[in-house]
Amino acid sequence: MTANGRVESERALHGDGQDADRLASLTEEIAVEAGGRSFAKTNPRGSHWQRSLIIWPDGRRDDTSTVDWLQGPTLYIDLRRPADRPDFTIMPRLDDLDWKAVTWLARQEGFAGRLLFDGEYFEWERIIDYQPKSVAPDVGRLRFENDVLIEQGRDIPYVEHWHRQNGARAPIAAVRLRQSGQDSEGFIVRLGQTFMYARERTLAAQSGFSLGECITQARSLEDARALIDCEISIGSIEPSGWIIARSTLPFREGQQLAITTPLNRDWIRTTDIAANGDASVRDWDIIEAEGDVRAIVAPAT
């Protein structure tokens, strides 16, 4: 279930009492409505996927990066981190990152948005993108070969191999957020005990360039850090809270993403770390919600 615009429906925010089977059935119904039975056969929704391989048109391949894609009913988050990451433990805050650190972090990728289907092609609409926005849309076909989900690009002929991860597939929920008083957007997707969180940077990156190129053109180290300050994180829901395991911001790893909500639940507050290392919070208006949203706005472990 999706609520467009500012969430007003009490049913959307509090859920409608559906159990896991009903949520799975609803996701299947959405799949069929969106693209017919052919969509249902390759429906990636309601799953946590990890990538084992990408092959680019020029023959380059990557089978070492850690790539996670958490797909809700329609909203999704994707995080891609190269395998050779340096040790960032001596840099526990944004203000500690030096030029070498921000240059490496600019190699990461990730995005968040909505999965669309036109009956033949899937499109990963990127509302948040860690890299500067590309002119070419992210569009491709999906098909299964045994248990491997094969993605083949339409406009750029890449190939990716995806594997569905074991684990609970309920509750399933996702929200799209807008930071109160600002234009910045964010997303939270939850599937079982796995969650992903994304928020965009406040300093816009120039389109048409890679983030690495934007970093080299930055006027100062402070601006370079601001360009890096786009968080895409994945973690697990433990008895101690929502614990971040991997993130585009290394100093967030091991930290808790605490979520608090007021009684009316039309906005949420998330914990964060300021550039100087101080604890901070972000207040968000919920502008879209889908699935059993109680699993996010009233998180329970």
* CATH number for 21: 2.40.128.280
- Tell whether 61 is covered by a domain: yes
pLDDT at 66: 98
Predicted local confidence at residue 263, as pLDDT = 67
With respect to residue 90, please indicate whether it lies within any of the assigned structural domains.
Answer: yes
Domain of residue 119 covers: 10-297
Listed residue (126, 163, 127, 156) closest to 140, CA to CA: 156
Please check whether residue 2 lies inside any domain of the structure. no
Query: In the chain, which residue ranges form alpha helices assigned H by DSSP?
Result: 10-14, 20-35, 37-41, 99-105, 211-217, 221-228, 294-297
d(CA 259, CA 274): 17
Q: What's the total number of domains in the chain?
A: 1
Q: What is the DSSP letter of 155?
A: S
Q: In this predicted structure, what is the pLDDT of residue 180?
A: 86
Q: 137 lies in a domain?
A: yes
Q: Residue 161 domain-assigned?
A: yes
- Is residue 4 in a domain? no
Structure confidence at residue 184 (pLDDT): 93
Residue 134 lies in a domain: yes
Predicted structure pTM score: 0.86
In a domain, 5, yes or no: no
Kindly report whether the peptide bond that precedes residue 57 is cis, defined as omega within 30 degrees of 0.
Answer: no
pLDDT value at residue 110 = 98
The parts of the chain modelled with pLDDT lower than 50 are 1-39, 300-301
pLDDT digits (tens, 9 = 90+) for 51-99: 999 999 999 999 999 999 999 999 999 999 999 999 999 999 999 999 9
